[in-house]
Amino acid sequence: MCMNKTYGILAHPVAHSLSPQMQSAAFVERGIDAQFLRFDVQPADLANFLSRVRAEHINGLAVSLPHKEAIIPLLDEITQTARKIGAVNTVFWKENSLMGDNTDAEGFMRAVMEHTAWSREHARSVAVIGAGGAARAIIFALKEKGYEVTIFNRTVSTAKKLAEEFHAFSQPLEGFLAREFSLVVNSTSVGLQTDVSPVSVSSWDGFSGTAFDAIFDPIKTRFLQDAESAGGKIVTGENMLLFQGVRQFQIWTGLSAPEDVMRKTVNNNM
């Protein structure tokens, strides 16, 4: 059966993504004749793949690691939000122009705000671990709301450069102490489909805040297990996946997203 429209998730690797199930369920619920595919594209092949998107007029893309920054110069235009973040997670057509947007920031803030009592009123400061495309969106969202952000990354120079760009602070990852922050965020891929964490278990000693991990496979990563064991609250990554995907659906279709159906689909496929 030939579908009228084609969308997909662009990533490497891509097999773990739940976007195909989530968005396909949304298309069915809204009566849209479309398919949502997995596009596993290595970094060296990104430009060729974008040529294919143009030639086949693929209707839209969700963009994940490691392409969120590298895809920008291959697009015709990006939104003001994507430009401020410096990363794209959503590609769509505007007339004959291939556009880039970013819904990760909105997805992150909804995930954290709607699933914990954490808020600016009692927040001290936020630690973001990582300095890639996801980190950019998360830091942007936090700074827009007025939070104090400290970036931790194994490559200190990368963290320092990102901190300067977003008027944040940076520290070496080796010096991370969770108890100094009200919210701790893992934006890296460390822990994806493995039982490892980007930080040591001892770094959680005395932690009583909230921990969030953008990874959702496994649903409760080692990072979150260690945070919870220390006494912290946790927010799992499928919440950000859902909320950023809800906004993507709206951008692609112009319709309201069937959020309940999308949430149920994600939960059923965890």
Nearest Cα residue to 182 out of 240, 130, 117: 117
Q: If you count them, how many residues does the chain have?
A: 270
Calculate ∠ Cα 143-145-148, nearest 5°. 45
Give ∠ CA 153-223-242 in degrees, rounded to 5: 95
Annotated catalytic residue: which of 5, 68, 143, 161? 68
- Is 68 known to be catalytic? yes
Type of residue numbered 4: N
Reduced to 3 states, what is the DSSP secondary structure of residue 212?
Answer: strand
Residues in CB range of 143: below 8 A, 6 or more apart:
149, 166, 167, 168
Catalytically annotated residues: 68
